[in-house]
Amino acid sequence: MSALARKHLAEIAYFDGETDLVLLHTLQSLNEAERTGSVAETVAGFAALSIGLETAGLRRFADGYSRRARAAAAAGDNPPDIAFAALVALVLHAGRADWSVARTAGVEAADLYKDLGADGRWQQTMATLVHADLAREGPPRSSPFHAELDAAADIRTSAQIRVWSLWAHLLTAMRGAERPDTDQLNALIALLDHPKLNEADRLGALSIAALAQLRCSDREGARATVARALDLAERRPPAAWHVASALDALTVAAALTDPGTPVAIQRLQRARTIAARLARTLPVARPTLHFAKAMHDSAQGKAGRARLQFARSRAVSLQNAQTRSADLLHATLSALEISPELWPDEQKR
């Protein structure tokens, strides 16, 4: 191991579980970057370390390596490296619900990628900005980045970007108590088994599809999709910040496919556990955790505890400047004509 790799290993101090392999692999890449003098590899290594350390809950180190990535890119004065470091900063700060920093970094990356003609990276950046807007408090009916992203889509657009776009369209509609567009739902379902879709995005797609199926009165389809989503999330626990919005949808679908039954309570316990793991290191997922707790308590008839958790979800959402999970629940209950008896009085519409 090189001096550079040993230095970073000493700074990080410890690893655990699967994170060990990811971070150690990244350190090996930095080792190679030092040997070859590759600025691009150094930037990529620092950026990967920042995300890995954030996922491990080591925020101070994550910040340090994000800054190093951006500094190395600026020193190399190579636009693709500068754009990539900015894109990773967007992801890092979105997970913290630090929207101002995230948006600034994302716009910088998008502008650079557009000038470079790097269509794939530009679409990835724009899709991330769309989901950052989706998570924020009080977004417009759709993100201003979404129309531009859709207009640029063609047969070369990756499965990931198509899923992110459909996910945002469907969730935006359902938050507004609208019936999901069946063409968009069918397109999302068609992508669920795409071989190039990563597991986090597959989980998000399954979660959104489950709620959309329920809203389209396909209860049997929703039931099967909920089961598949929960199984996937337990097998490969999500660590991506944008999955939080999908877990809200999964929680609602888990509660309402078989409302008031023991199977619904069991599914909600599973959803609550999944949300807890994501929220452990990502502030953007904390409203989702309280929301899942509220739904689980509500299903068990624990009205007081449910009200408390709904209130906490709302409070943390406001603290994070995020769209309230409560909006999704209320819209869904209204569309299904189910009376939200446990809803806090001040939040009833």
CA distance 156 to 291: 37
Structure tokens at 78: 């190579």
Least confident residue range of 74-88, 171-185, 233-247, 312-326: 312-326
Dihedral of alpha carbons 148, 151, 155, 156, sign:
negative
**Phi then psi dihedrals of residue 302, to 5 deg:** -95, 80
Q: What is the CA radius of gyration of the chain?
A: 21
Among all chains, which residue has been given the structure tokens 């890449």?
A: 29
Structure tokens at 229: 């989503």
CA atoms within 13 A on the CB side of 261: 8
pLDDT for res 13: 41
CA distance 45 to 193: 30
Helices within 38-118 (DSSP H only): 39-55, 59-76, 79-94, 99-116
pLDDT for res 43: 87
Question: Binning pLDDT at 50, 70 and 90, where does residue 67 land?
Answer: very high
CA atoms within 13 A on the CB side of 85: 27
pLDDT for res 82: 96
Question: Binning pLDDT at 50, 70 and 90, where does residue 32 land?
Answer: low
Question: Binning pLDDT at 50, 70 and 90, where does residue 202 land?
Answer: very high
Residue 349 has pLDDT above 70, yes or no: no
322 SS3 class: strand
Amino acid occupying residue 105: A
pLDDT for res 337: 55
pLDDT for res 332: 61
Of all residues in the chain, the percent with pLDDT exceeding 70 is 80
Question: Binning pLDDT at 50, 70 and 90, where does residue 327 land?
Answer: low
What secondary structure, in 3-state letters, does 149-190 show?
A: HHHHCCCCCCHHHHHHHHHHHHHHHHHCCCCCCHHHHHHHHH
Q: How far is CA 125 from the centre of its chain?
A: 14
Residue 345 has pLDDT above 50, yes or no: no
Pair 143, 168: CB distance under 8 Å: yes
pTM of the model: 0.85
